[in-house]
Structure 1
Amino acid sequence: MEIAIKMGQFLLSLSLLIILHELGHFIPAKLFKTRVEKFYLFFDVKYSLFKKKIGETEYGIGWLPLGGYVKISGMIDESMDKEQMALPPQPWEFRSKPAWQRLIIMLGGVTVNFILAFIIYIGMAFAYGDLYISNSEVKDGIWIANPVVEKTGLKTGDKIISVDGVKADKFHELNEKILLGKEVVVERNGTEQKIALPVDFIDKLMQGEKISVVELRIPFVVGGVTEDSPNKDKVQPKDIITSFNGVPVKYADEIIGAVDSLKGKTVPAIVTRDNKEIAVSLKVNDSAKMGIAFAPRLSADNLEKLGLYKVSKQEYGLLESIPVGITKGKNQLLGYGKQLKAIFNPSTGAYKGVGGFKAIFDIFPKTWSWEAFWSITALLSIMLGVMNLLPIPALDGGHVMFLLYEMISRRKPSDKFMENAQMVGFVLLISLLLFANGNDIYKAVIGK
């Protein structure tokens, strides 16, 4: 059932983005009286799942969910229709239209992608508001559970002041900022320190465990006890360990850090259960394990009820939502630009983390959530828009590049040149597709 829910969200999001992107090409083409022969969701290699011709356009659904397309008459595209291009140009064809009209048609898809993302972010600000923990509320500093991050010099208890000179305001934004950052300023023991992040930081993270860059410090709430645990009759799920080895503890990291030095020992502890304190003795085995799992994630409500962090909720009216949504969209766009920059810089190793359709599928939650669905769809819309703008022949950005050349030089590239460029672009796209999805397979095989 969980897979069906994830698949439903994945296909709905993908279909929505493809249809709207292709509409971005279709509408200006029709406005400029350019014939559109096909409008397809997914690719119809050899056959279609559904098709119906209305007027001069065939609308359909293909069986291969790798994208979609509109086939515009007189345009050298993925169809490579050389027979049509060998005939004299017709007034209704793309190649017969002025360069500025062709430019608008080609930019229509990515324009819709960006507009859609901003509209979604505005709608989300209005519908859901903004729920967050202010970075200033993290008074006892962050938790560094990832050994790769610890090697950079960041430590548990550090208070993040800024990343790359930009002040850190909301805690949930820190992971991405640090992941793509170069320098972090922290407050440690009352003094500020600068920590330079290594160029290959992303590469090192991908080679280690899948643990966040930084975490909130949370109490040791018992999540479960193993069957062979010597402590299974002493603690219960939802117990909170508040004292360990005679020392009061507030956070789980304090217990986890102390266990290594207590191998083979039995230590006194106090747990809180139903608002009552209970004294227990906990056994640490020779492998520095207690057989007690802690709950690594607590809801915002629980964090606030425990008095650890104040959770801020900002609600917006319709007009207030507009600048908030635009700012969110702009930040996501800039953030994705930084990610691409890191991917295209071999020294970062970020290219190893590039994923294909499985990676996209995996980011959707196992339970249906409209808030998560729209948030992911908005991000994917930005990604689709940016990727399509890359100056690669066969992508919108490649066509735009040649159109701009034509408008500046007043010389139109020959059909033969465009056919060759389209073929080169197609090979590049297939290579990127194989690389991205190959990465998915590789990570699935090695378990990372």
Structure 2
Amino acid sequence: MTLAIQIIQFILIISILVILHELGHFIPAKYFKTKVEKFYLFFDVKFSLFKKKIGDTEYGIGWLPLGGYVKIAGMIDESMDTEQMKEEPKPWEFRSKPAWQRLIIMLGGVTVNFFLAWIIYTMLLFNNGDTYIPADSLKYGIQVDSVGQQLGLLTGDKILAVDGKKTKKFSNAVLQIILGDEITVNRDGKEITVPLSDEGKASVFEAQGRNFITYRKKAVIDSVIPESAAKKAGIKAHDQIVGVNGRQVDYWDEFTDVIKSSSDVALTLEILRNGKKENIQITVPEEGKIGVYPSVEDLRVTDNYTFAEAIPAGLTRTIQVLTDQIRQFKVIFNTKTGAYKQVKGPIGIVEMMSPTWDWTFFWGFMAMFSVWLAFLNILPIPALDGGHVMFLLYEMISGRKPSEKVLETGQIIGFVILMGLMVVIFGNDIWNIIKKFI
């Protein structure tokens, strides 16, 4: 059932985004009296699941869920319909329209994607506010695992800035660490700058970024597992561990480090319960776990917005998401980080979906993915919107149209590039699944 919910969310998000993106091309094309022959959700290779012709346009649903398209008459596109291009241009064809109209038609999709994200972020901020953990409220600093240590960070560090810029949110600080070049921290009362190495980032991506950094917390028990060693020893919720075998313990990571290294060892835990200190004897099981969970201090704050405030805040969020996505390419194309191995396709994206139906996640993911689609489509690669825009800008600047042969060749090259990327992306998805069973 969980997988079904994830798949349904993914298909619904993709369907909405594709339809709206293609509408971004369709509406200006119709406005400029350009004939649109097809409007399809998904690709109809050889056959379609549904189709109906209304006026000059065939509307349909294809069977291959890798996007969608509008086929505009008189335009060299992924259909590679060159027969039509051999005929004399008709006034209702794309190629007969002024360059500025053709440019508006080609920019329509990414424009819709950008404004859709802006609208969604605006409404989310207006309805839900913005809840986050302030980066400067981590009074005990950060806690890192071995992967975080390879980046040059240490447990107890307090984040001051990444690439010289102070970060408001702790979650954003984590992302900026992955994308940045250096981090400034307060370590033992001294301000130092740590370079973020490619080798360290490679470890982060290999571990898929899971919990390499979190915030440090006191060694306070939240709950105890029934029938566990801790339960049998008499440890209770809200107990605070202050010492182990006479050694002072302040933080949860210090406590768990001792437990993990004390398999089959008898320990004396000094706890603080109801303001009084007590000693508890416990023998750590062979697996190095005693069956307790930490109490997590709720450091979250929520910024609320009026509708008027949410509009510019939504725009700022959209631009920030776009900026971060552009910066990711610097990391992805750096082979030392190995980030390209973690690029996700449809299978990987489905795994990212919420296991339960969560409308806040749904709309937030749609907004993020809408920005992502806008960015990918505007890349100057033939076969993408950005490729068409590139040729149109050349025409508008030089005053000369590229020949149809150049456009056809560019379309073929772009198609080969995109298919190559799809092979890599699907290969990553399949390999990541295989690794789970190795």
Q: Is the pair's TM-score, using the shorter chain for normalization, greater than 0.5? A: yes
Deviation of 1:197 (Å): 0.7
Contact 1:80/1:419 (CA < 8 Å) preserved in 2? Answer: yes
Deviation of 1:6 (Å): 1.0
Match of 1:182 in 2: 181
SS in 2 for 1:82: coil
Does residue 303 (structure 1) correspond to residue 292 (structure 2)? The answer is no
2:367 to 374, 378, 394: 378
Change (3 A) 1:79 1:278: farther
Deviation of 1:207 (Å): 2.6
Deviation of 1:244 (Å): 4.4
Does residue 399 (structure 1) correspond to residue 395 (structure 2)? The answer is no
Does residue 33 (structure 1) correspond to residue 19 (structure 2)? The answer is no
Match of 1:363 in 2: 352
Change (3 A) 1:275 1:79: farther
Match of 2:424 in 1: 435
Question: Size of the alignment, in residue pairs?
Answer: 435
Change (3 A) 1:210 1:278: farther
Change (3 A) 1:9 1:274: farther
SS in 2 for 1:168: coil
What CA RMSD, in Å, does the superposition of the two structures yield over aligned residues?
2.5
Whole-angstrom distance in 2 between the partners of 1:26 and 1:78? 16
Change (3 A) 1:358 1:224: farther
Deviation of 1:232 (Å): 5.5
Deviation of 1:426 (Å): 0.8
Match of 2:210 in 1: 211
Letter in 1 for 2:233: K
Contact 1:121/1:378 (CA < 8 Å) preserved in 2? Answer: yes
Contact 2:140/2:215 (CA < 8 Å) preserved in 1? Answer: no
C-alpha deviations, 1:279-326, integer Å up to 9, x for none? 532212566x1342636xx7xxx623xxxx3x3221111001112111
Contact 2:136/2:159 (CA < 8 Å) preserved in 1? Answer: no
C-alpha deviations, 1:416-440, integer Å up to 9, x for none? 2211211111111111011111111
Whole-angstrom distance in 1 between the partners of 2:149 and 2:202? 15
Match of 1:418 in 2: 407
Change (3 A) 1:67 1:209: closer
Letter in 1 for 2:430: I
Match of 1:158 in 2: 157
Letter in 1 for 2:125: A
Change (3 A) 1:438 1:26: same
Does residue 195 (structure 1) correspond to residue 179 (structure 2)? The answer is no
Contact 2:270/2:280 (CA < 8 Å) preserved in 1? Answer: yes
Deviation of 1:261 (Å): 4.9
Contact 1:238/1:273 (CA < 8 Å) preserved in 2? Answer: no
Letter in 1 for 2:47: Y
Whole-angstrom distance in 2 between the partners of 1:239 and 1:6? 36
Provide structure 1 residue ranges, at least 5 long, that are not aligned to the other structure.
Answer: none
Whole-angstrom distance in 1 between the partners of 2:223 and 2:79? 56
C-alpha deviations, 1:100-128, integer Å up to 9, x for none? 11111111101111111111111111011
Contact 1:175/1:212 (CA < 8 Å) preserved in 2? Answer: no
SS in 2 for 1:43: strand
Match of 2:171 in 1: 172
2:333 to 341, 344, 347: 344
Whole-angstrom distance in 1 between the partners of 2:273 and 2:66? 52
Letter in 2 for 1:254: E
Letter in 1 for 2:395: E
Change (3 A) 1:73 1:275: farther
Q: Which shows bigger deviation, 92-101 or 347-356? A: 347-356
Change (3 A) 1:60 1:223: farther
C-alpha deviations, 1:237-275, integer Å up to 9, x for none? 966553441556453212122235534421123668999
Contact 2:114/2:371 (CA < 8 Å) preserved in 1? Answer: yes
SS in 2 for 1:242: strand
Match of 2:111 in 1: 111
Does residue 51 (structure 1) correspond to residue 69 (structure 2)? The answer is no
Deviation of 1:231 (Å): 4.5
Change (3 A) 1:415 1:275: farther
Whole-angstrom distance in 1 between the partners of 2:139 and 2:18? 45
Deviation of 1:362 (Å): 1.7
Whole-angstrom distance in 2 between the partners of 1:390 and 1:8? 29
